């Protein structure tokens, strides 16, 4: 009897997880840790900054990641370890809420900064 309940509830649980997973990705304000991000400003901006940072860092006051020039206020081109953008994400302190980028995506941010943090 116990076994039967387990068999019946597994698909229901899966359906529930899928339902919530799909629902949250549609809200467009969460980083997708599976998205393939390339080491360009446009890719990092559209996958990481717009989805995971601009909700809190989009206006005036404090750091803003809504444009290349504003983003560069937290970036030291050539040096990820001197860049608050990279340090805040790699330390895990940012984003303060929501999904965190994967370690592969964090590496891509480091690569972009190392290569000169171009507006590409």
Locate 38 and state its tokens. Answer: 């390339």
- What residues between 53 and 72 interact with ligand HEC by CB under 6 A? 53, 55-57, 63, 65
* Number of shown-chain residues binding ligand HEC (CB under 6 A): 18
Q: How far apart are CA 45 and CA 51, in angstroms?
A: 8
Q: What is the distance, to the nearest Å, from the Cα of residue 26 to the centroid of all Cα atoms in its chain?
A: 15
DSSP string for residues in 30-41: S--TTS---SSH
Which CB atom, from 22 or from 99, has the smaller least distance to ligand HEC? 99
The one among 67, 97, 118, 120 contacting ligand HEC by CB under 6 A: 97
Point out which residues bind ligand HEC (CB under 6 A): 48, 52-53, 55-57, 63, 65, 74, 84-85, 88-89, 94-98
């Amino acid at each position: 009897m116990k076994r039967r309940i387990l068999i019946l509830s597994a698909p229901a649980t899966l359906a529930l997880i899928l339902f919530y997973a799909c629902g949250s990705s549609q809200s467009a304000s969460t980083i997708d840790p599976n998205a393939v991000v390339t080491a360009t400003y446009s890719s990092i901006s559209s996958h990481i900054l717009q989805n995971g940072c601009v909700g809190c860092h989009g206006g005036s006051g404090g750091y803003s990641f809504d444009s290349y020039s504003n983003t560069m206020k937290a970036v030291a081109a050539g040096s990820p370890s001197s860049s608050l953008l990279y340090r805040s994400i790699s330390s895990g302190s940012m984003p303060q809420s929501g999904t965190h980028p994967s370690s592969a995506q964090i590496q891509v941010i480091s690569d972009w900064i190392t290569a000169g943090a171009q507006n590409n």
